[in-house]
Amino acid sequence: MKKMTKNLWMLAIMMACALSLTSCYIDEDENVGYNVRGHWFGDMDMWIDGEKARGSEIEFQPRGYGYSYGEGIEVDYYYRGSITHYFDYEIRNGIIYLQFDDPNLDCAIVDYRLTYNYFTGYIADSYTLKNLTYFNLRNYDRYWDSYGYGGYIYTREQTLDTDSLWNDSTATRSTTENQEPKCIRGVNRIKD
């Protein structure tokens, strides 16, 4: 009887340890989600038909209970306008997975530094977690003041109509006339 009681206590201790170890990642993911929520701006290394975006805004909004998953919006600004992308995100084991309406833009945010004002790191392919490209963002809500923000000029232009965007005679278009311009991330990828 003593041996069975001792074994039950050992089993209870092992279960408590196992549960506490798995909850660490959950708590860490919730913490990351809490800190990443909100509005950011900077360089997400977005390109469209050879033209680099002047800058990007991205917003993370938690959905449901907790902060480890939600939805968001990314707006990339180009010289002739802006393009908007919608995404869902989930944070698993410290990695932020983004699933866009355009599957070509699906990515994962890895090896990042997230502070009160800055969010920098690397964007990788969602499935392989390779083909890294660098991003650098500042917190939009904390950086704005009544005078705006200095040194980095964003203009809120009209949303791009991709059919009329490339009618400009100075624009170079690498796709055929029946195709939309292709948005890609990370033309200058970092070698693994």
Flag whether 2 is in a domain: no
Flag whether 135 is in a domain: yes
Q: What are phi and psi of 59, to 5 degrees?
A: -130, 130
Q: What's the pTM value of the predicted model, to 2 decimals?
A: 0.68
Flag whether 19 is in a domain: no
CA distance 160 to 141: 25
Whether 137 and 42 have beta carbons less than 8 Å apart is answered as yes
Domain interval for residue 64? 35-185
**pLDDT above 70 for 23:** no
| Interval 179-183 mean pLDDT | 60
CATH number of the domain residue 140 falls in: 2.40.128.120
Flag whether 13 is in a domain: no
CA distance 49 to 180: 10
- With cut-offs at 50, 70 and 90, classify the pLDDT of residue 189: low
Flag whether 12 is in a domain: no
- With cut-offs at 50, 70 and 90, classify the pLDDT of residue 12: low
What pLDDT shows up at residue 174?
36
Please count the structural domains in the chain.
1
Helices and strands in the chain: count of H runs, count of E runs? 3, 11
Q: Which of 52-56, 170-174, 180-184 has the weakest average pLDDT?
A: 170-174
